[in-house]
Amino acid sequence: MARLLSIAQPHFSWITALTPVHLEGMRNMATIVEEKLLLAAATRETGQVWMTAEVASQSEGMEAQWLARSEIISMQSGGETQPRILRAQPGAYELDLPTLGVISLPLEATHEATQVAIAARMALAFGVPPAELTQRLCNLPRP
């Protein structure tokens, strides 16, 4: 990660997950967490970092000034500013997304719903109009 970050410093970062999927290239989970969080740490101070609550919880105890400019998405906490899963049926998820309202999507798993919620937050932050984003989401094809 450090080599890639030496080429370009990101304005925006999205850390999707910290899982054992990369173990073949790294020694252990601690190394995976450290490498992925380098991306957040390298994000410009004027930028934004998006991540799930699970990712944020794995950064506890680290020196993380970037957390102040992070938006942490939690599908479990609910509340007016957090997305919620209203129905979790494979192939037919129903999400309540802040600013967009309730949307039915052809998702297969909860982690996909979390990724959609973060992608929607990012799209809104980048200026995609809510009505256009809602239309795009509602027209997602079934996998």
- The whole model's pTM is what? 0.77
Q: Per-residue pLDDT for 120 more than 60?
A: yes
Helix (H) / strand (E) element for 114: namely helix 110-125
Q: Per-residue pLDDT for 77 more than 60?
A: no
- How high does pLDDT run on average in the chain? 83
How many beta carbons lie within 10 A of that of residue 48, not counting itself? 19
Q: Per residue in 102-116, is it b (16+ CB within 10 Å) or e — as a string? A: ebebebeeeeebbbb
- Quick one: pLDDT at residue 104? 94
Nearest to 103 by CA among 121, 123, 122, 83: 83
Q: Per-residue pLDDT for 42 more than 70?
A: yes
pLDDT band at 66 (very low <50, low <70, confident <90, very high): low
Average pLDDT score over residue span 87-99: 92
Average pLDDT score over residue span 29-36: 80
Question: 24 vs 47, which has greater pLDDT?
Answer: 47
What pLDDT, in 10s, does the model give residues 43-64?
888 888 888 877 777 776 665 6
- Quick one: pLDDT at residue 22? 66
- Quick one: pLDDT at residue 90? 93
Q: Contact at 8 Å (CB) between 74 and 52?
A: yes
What pLDDT, in 10s, does the model give residues 125-137?
899 999 999 999 9
Q: Per-residue pLDDT for 7 more than 90?
A: yes
